[in-house]
A and B are shown apart, each in its own frame.
Chain A
Amino acid sequence: MKFRAKIVDGACLNHFTRISNMIAKLAKTCTLRISPDKLNFILCDKLANGGVSMWCELEQENFFSEFQMEGLSAENNEIYLELTSENLSRALKTAHNARALKIKLTNKHFPCLTVSVELFSMSSSSRIATHDIPIKVIPRKLWKDLQEPMVPDPDVSIYLPVLKTMKSVVEKMKNISSHLIIEANLDGELNLKIETELVRVTTHFKDLGNPPLASESTSQDRNPGHMAEVHIDIRKLLQFLAGQQVNPTKALCNIVTNKMVHFDLLHEDVSLQYFIPALS
């Protein structure tokens, strides 16, 4: 298995750094999948993650000026690695204003992803910072658990409000209850509700807009004002919102009543899907 890639463009480097910061906030440990055209950051819905799953995808040619990989075998031309996300974001932090960034798969004293940053320096010789991020290679038999999750037909699909606003609302609500209800309808209305014995708090977002639905029949049957709701753990939503430092280019929320909420975001050219299951 081989992997070597290089980023020389400053904007691409910053974007990649932002993505890795986001991943570090969303998942402590995640899987990095390397394939000839794409890179994926994956979190599968294991018990340890509380049923939350994440699928982040980026096209490698939008970032890397050089990209070479050789997967496990010719038929399985992919590499699955498990790493601590914070290590990657810390390594990339030093790449701010770097001349070049190189990533490669190495086996120094343990398998690692070596991130090498060439910094600008006053003198003629370059200053180089190298980070060896320990990784675990995921065996072929576990790959089936790490595939792109199926997105079920949502009951309601709605565009999200400004995430920063949502985050500050949810942060305050967290102090009152750990159980949050998200509901939305096809009229562009989204509500966040918490209920306790003493108090009920609802925040209403209006005029958000709905993306066109896949099947027309659903839109005819459903009363557009009808709310589809799901009960989730507020901390999981907060973790998701905390990871969004920059407002995404596109942000969509799909609700499957009493099953799950699915967030579909696009940060420029990087797509992020985040699934939060309903509380049982």
Chain B
Amino acid sequence: MKCLVTGGNVKVLGKAVHSLSRIGDELYLEPLEDGLSLRTVNSSRSAYACFLFAPLFFQQYQAAIPGQDLLRCKILMKSFLSVFRSLAMLEKTVEKCCISLNGQSSRLVVQLYCKFGVRKTHNLSFQDCESLQAVCDPASCPHMLRAPARVLGEAVLPFPPTLAEVTLGIGRGHRVILRSYHEEEADSTVKAMVTEVCLGEEDFQQLQAQEGAAITFCLKEFRGLLSFAESANLNLSIHFDAPGRPAIFTIKDSLLDGHFVLATLSETDSYSQDLGSLERQRPVPQLQAHSTPHPDDFTNDDIDSYMIAMETTIGNEGSRVLPSISLSPGPQPPQSPGLRSEEEDDAEPSTVPGTPPPKKVGAEGEGEGGGGGGVGKGAASRTHLFLPVPLAVLRLHPGPRRLPAGPQPCAG
């Protein structure tokens, strides 16, 4: 493999690497026919990120020496990032960047051709690896929204930089709401400040989502893609499904494609990302009216009254969930899609206050036939209520258990 990046694209590549470094510690580099893919996954397998650079992005792109198989490798993110650490330096002094992977040598060679004839060569050791692939199909997600990255960037500005998770949902009047999510601590005397941002439908180029749909995902990981998209002035699309199902964040340009797949909190009890849940200790989702707010002109007090409507429409993750923290992929029973009925809600078991809801990513692939939006009914989440440690499970095709049929680009 050999590719040459020149001019402003070097900085774009550097920014993409910075973005990926927010997610995982290892970078999977795979030259494909349709471009160079850089992928990573986080240690708990709850986040996957992939950038695909089209051949046109490069001045020269050779995926493989003819006759040889396509090589792919896994490098330490820290090492690769150190080459592109200073974006300012990249912009000012680097004229060309050449990345080559030779089957014979056991090194990935990155060369930076800088001003004044300076050439920096980095020889990075790598490991062979299987293809890292998250089977993610944005088309199967019933809800999507798209906006310029700048709008989303401005929307997350009010949130503290240390905030881990955020809930994104659709409120009444198709307003998009982002709210900080804090896991309930049983004995917390110091409560955290709750911040909420409300955007109108007009801020979005496309908004195709049901009122009441909401997901909670890791904001820190999202910021990685967001900052890249903002600097490249691209539109960012968010495809999501029921809570617990992975959310897919994409950006697209003629020269590159970015895909981030993040796990979302599944709704096992009422103190999940339900935008309407205020009484966190109650086991049954709220169907009774909240106390009427004072009549005043605070626009987002509107939230109080439509929360009830939302609770009945948020889907339940259902029995698609894996039985434990194990990473073993298991067979998934096909789900009959259907709206969760209200009687099922009442049958929810009481939750253990203080148990953080396990973060799960629902299965992809088998049994769904692409109709991933099926909303299951209540039950299997019960098995997880008493497990102490939430561990997200993002099922990938890591190799041995499932044979990848050659490199498969992420659909969509």
Contacts and interface: CB of A to CB of B under 8 A. Distances in A.
A132 B200 contact: no
A99 to B, nearest CB: 12
B199 interface: yes
A124 to B, nearest CB: 6
A94 B193 contact: no
Contacts of B190: 84, 134
A116 B300 contact: yes
Contacts of A122: 203
B227 to A, nearest CB: 19
Given A94-B157, A108-B278, A109-B278, A126 B299 contact: yes
Contacts of B298: 102, 104, 114, 116
B201 A125 contact: yes
Contacts of B407: none
B203 A127 contact: yes
A127 B160 contact: no
Nearest to A86: B193
A117 B199 CA distance: 12
Interface string A64-99: 000000000000000000001001001101100000
A197 B193 CA distance: 48
Nearest to B303: A130
A194 B298 CA distance: 54
Contacts of A117: 158
Nearest to A83: B193
B203 A132 contact: no
Nearest to B297: A102
B278 A127 contact: no
A188 B299 CA distance: 55
Contact of A4 (B196, B200, B201, B296): B296
Given A122-B203, A123-B202, A132 B194 contact: yes
Give chain A's interface residue range (CB within 8 Å of chain B).
20 to 34
Interface string A1-38: 01010000000000000000000000000000000000
B383 interface: no
Interface string B183-214: 00000001111111111111100000000000
A6 to B, nearest CB: 9
B196 A129 contact: yes
Contact of B202 (A108, A125, A132): A125
A125 B280 CA distance: 31
B195 A127 contact: no
Contacts of B175: 125
Interface in B189-243: 190-203
Interface in B284-310: 294, 296, 298-300
Contact of A94 (B158, B194, B300): B158
Nearest to B280: A109
A128 B191 contact: no
19 contacts: A2-B294, A90-B160, A109-B278, A110-B191, A114-B298, A118-B299, A121-B200, A121-B203, A124-B200, A125-B202, A125-B203, A126-B200, A127-B154, A127-B198, A127-B200, A128-B300, A130-B198, A131-B193, A132-B196
Closest 3 CB pairs of A and B: A125-B200, A123-B202, A134-B191
Given A84-B193, A130-B198, 6 more contacts: A102-B298, A109-B279, A114-B298, A121-B200, A123-B203, A131-B194
